[in-house]
């Protein structure tokens, strides 16, 4: 086998190893970047659900009962 063929084969082998590795790294970084966005959006939705739950409660129960439930809900949604 000539030296130029060996170099070409070695170069092709390096490309076959490096290209998938780079793609995996890019996909992992994109995945990590998108998880932060979902995590930031979740508390706002949870806190909105607390307000909706309080409105439903007020139509069936007395104010102090609903306020206690709402306060507990808001406390837990802020922690998320």
- Is the pLDDT at 57 greater than 80? The verdict is yes
Q: Any residues with CB less than 8 A from the CB of 42 and at least 6 apart, and which?
A: 80
What distance in Å separates the CA atoms of residue 24 and residue 69, rounded to the nearest whole number? Answer: 46
Distance of CA 31 to the CA centre of its chain: 8
What is the percentage of the chain residues whose pLDDT exceeds 70? 69
In the chain, the number of structural domains is: 1
What distance in Å separates the CA atoms of residue 80 and residue 59, rounded to the nearest whole number? Answer: 28
| Host domain of residue 33 | 3-79
- 21 pLDDT band, cuts 50/70/90, is confident
Nearest of 73, 80, 41 to residue 54 by alpha carbon? 73
Give the Cα-Cα-Cα angle 69, 75, 76 (nearest 5 degrees).
Answer: 95
């Amino acid at each position: 086998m000539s030296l130029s063929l060996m170099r070409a084969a070695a170069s092709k082998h390096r490309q076959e190893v490096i290209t998938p590795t780079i793609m995996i790294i890019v996909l992992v970084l994109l995945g990590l970047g998108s998880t932060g966005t979902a995590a930031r959006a979740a508390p706002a939705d949870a806190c909105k659900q607390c307000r909706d739950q309080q409105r439903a409660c007020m139509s069936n129960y007395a104010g102090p009962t609903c306020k206690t439930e709402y306060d507990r809900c808001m406390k837990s949604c802020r922690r998320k």
